Structure 1
């Protein structure tokens, strides 16, 4: 059995397409350990579906807008407390994590109970945050335009001092637009609401973990041939998950394999790893320099045989060194929305 592993895509469709171009239809399944992205999920699943095998997934904190019952295709299977069997191996997990539970059913129920106990502050905060989001979008667009103009007017790379001035102007504006939200958060009403809400993160983790452990107890399959998939790494797995041989996760960027008390813990991330590049030469008569992102992410491959059990290896996205002829790494600032280097 051979399975493609990936995680932390962050809506980076280009990285998914690059990975697809490197691989043939040689897999029995694809597993995505969360952070697919809330805005290009269907397009991303369409690419994975082209492998013509089951696509198994859980959600992460980047997937907070995705509904749990959404269908991304006939061969796509959400593993949230929903086992999937492939030959002798079973796969199951839960979606969400403490960074953001998104639309996790347990978390939603807990939040709704608390929101219902504090209707006034919840309504005021919602209105203030909506206004803040609208104004913030304008500020960010103005900042991006000013930064672009600075690049265009500079024959050489702009000084850090000039960039710092733009950054400070942006910071002051963003701080000002958050005044109303800040005022509400300093109120006694919010303090009471926050105190009640603070327990949701841990409570949701415990409920999802318990539900998953109970599901494993009730299965007819051998736990020793079950793979657990979550977005963040499970801890204290001897409590409720004893005998599970493999735990797959992402979230903590950087591919890594650890063996502990007879189980393998594999961090399969991160596919979306961007390196901002700046053109060595000017691009037009205005002496504007170009900026592009280079995909430097990775994914993994898991294999299982009766003789060797589970084995893992990391695969890096292919990068051609010739990019250094025309591009250099930009380290002084970030540029939102820079296109990807072909």
Structure 2
């Protein structure tokens, strides 16, 4: 008898962790279910963006392969050169382009190194290892912040890329502009420093990172941005990177053609055209964030300072228990086993129910 041999992927893929997206809420009798597990904008896109998506013409035609109209709109909106922008399928698509272009397996067979804080965005190790590079995670501080001193100390001759996530997903704190400048002065100029700004619009800190100023000052800086969060277009997957042309020239070589489809491009351009409405919606979420964090503090919870559209509960071994308790209340949250639970700021009734849960929860490692 013959046996069919197992078809194995390459080693780098076989050992990858699986990306775990936020799950939908479980129904519960008498309760409206709410999804607080994926950092989505509960207010959705501005009406003009939704209308533009619905009316996008010529769906039987390919869009421009590099989203030229969107890049033109972004160039005007941000005051940057058109060629400094490369579009992608969400900021994750733009990140994949950067890693593909700058980190992989060297000519000697060893992997280039990519440094990032951990815990941070869970796609980082997946993208890095898929490219054949070696990830170098540096633990965040006890209050969920990047340890920039330790990250600078981790740089070696093999380091090709460093990822800074600000505000950090899933813990919430944002880096300061002063600290990032100090960090960049310690990093070799041939190392690409990627500043992931997916939650940029929600930051209300005293010294916010000015990514545009940094990319203009430091040729090795690249920014990641998205329309998924503040603009409420997560379902359309629109993102982009901003960098000087010494970097973007190589990103365009590895960019997937037509990654931003015609419907997504139309909606994103319309959203930019109504940016004041976008900012209004963001401010509503920021106010809800302040209400939620104040209520948690009053209830005795000790959580990291969040500058994003979510909060982080450092529950450790109690994380799965809390997520189960939330599920009973028809709330979907995002647990990270053994570490903590990330909870998105949602609709006010959802936030009310979350606050009530936190006030009454008495499970393992609950309120401090």
**Higher RCO structure (Cα 8 Å, ≥6 apart):** 2
TM-score for the superposition, normalised by structure 2: 0.28
TM-score for the superposition, normalised by structure 1: 0.30
Q: Computing the radius of gyration over CA atoms, which structure comes out larger, 1 or 2?
A: 1
